[in-house]
Amino acid sequence: MIRPIVKFGVAGLQAPSQPVVEFDTALHTLIDDMIETMYAAPGIGLAAPQIGVPLQVCVIDLSIGKRGGQVITLVNPEFVEREGLQLEEEGCLSVPGLQATVPRSERAVVTGRDRDGLPITIEGHGLLARALQHELDHLDGRLFLDRLRGIQRDVIVRRIRKQQRQGAW
């Protein structure tokens, strides 16, 4: 089932999420809904808080569903290593239509659990490293906007506020 994506400014989106304790049918349904929602958006990643569920779950598929079996599902993920630097433009399904250049590590290693509770380790470089960092930020209650400083952040937030006033957000 496709679920509505929570946008910047909605309560809960910027609050830390809770660890998953039960790997059950409800979790599998949540993950399946997240994947369907991510593809429908379309996007390359989605975290549970983006659909209003405050749990440490995220899904990533750099192919946007074009190549089967490419979905990475992470439950209760944590960074093990991060190194290097990349500066690329980034967007977010919770901040639609707005992008900014965000500094991220070039390489990221994450451990967590898969949808069945089995241990998993993912090492990402480039875009995958960026996606891992972006989605784990969501689980900590952070948006890419929180990584911006000064006028760059102010301009984007003003655009959002204007759209909110006009009822277009």
What pLDDT, on the 0 to 100 scale, is given for residue 60? Answer: 98
Q: Which domains does the chain have, with CATH numbers?
A: 25-165 (3.90.45.10)
* Banded model confidence at residue 65, pLDDT cuts 50, 70, 90: confident
* pLDDT tens string 101-155: 999 999 999 999 999 999 999 999 999 999 999 999 999 999 999 999 999 999 9
pLDDT of 2 strictly over 80: yes
102 closest CA partner among 60, 133, 77: 133
Catalytic residues: 135
pLDDT of 66 strictly over 90: no
Radius of gyration of the chain (CA): 15
